[in-house]
Amino acid sequence: MSDETTKRDILADILNDPHTGMIRGMNELSKLIHARPNDPSTKEVAKRPVVGQPKKRERSRKHKTTHYLTKEVFDNLDEAKADIRSFLPEDSKSKATKSSIVESAITVVLHEFEKKGKDSILIQELLKKKNE
């Protein structure tokens, strides 16, 4: 015996408006496809956000980098993160990430280097490491 069942078209259920039976957004899509570049009516359609589409994130001005740290510095960074978070108000604790701590430390060190040049702590530390 064969069991005949009707197959549901799930995609049609998702795309079709249950009230009209038409595919949602078809009119707007058709306008965009057949639009002329300077037609003001299509510009309005293009500005509307697509339902369910996440907003475009602004392009980050940060760059991912990889740098090597000694185990001691790495461990100290973990400890410093915990200590720094304890000084911050509750709503700012999430700002104390390893990345933000490293970025702030580098900014401070580079600022001091710009002011003092060869007399800066950065140069002194690099010279110390050279002699070790």
- 1 pLDDT more than 50: no
Whether residue 78 sits in one domain with residue 34:
no
The owner of tokens 């993160």 is: 81
pLDDT by residue (tens digit) across 45-82?
555 555 555 555 556 688 888 999 999 999 999 999 99
- The domain total for the chain is 2
pLDDT the model gives residue 53: 52
pLDDT by residue (tens digit) across 87-98?
999 998 888 999
Whether residue 79 sits in one domain with residue 41:
no
pLDDT by residue (tens digit) across 10-43?
777 777 777 776 776 777 777 777 776 666 655 5
Cα 107 from Cα 6, distance rounded (Å): 66
pLDDT the model gives residue 109: 93
**Which of 132, 110, 130, 128 lies closest to 120 in space, CA to CA?**
110
Count Cα neighbours of 131 within 13 Å in the Cβ-side half-sphere.
6
Cα 128 from Cα 113, distance rounded (Å): 16
pLDDT the model gives residue 45: 52
18: domain range? 10-47
User: To 5 degrees, how large is the angle CA 58–CA 60–CA 66?
Assistant: 155
Cα 30 from Cα 24, distance rounded (Å): 11
| 24 found inside a domain | yes
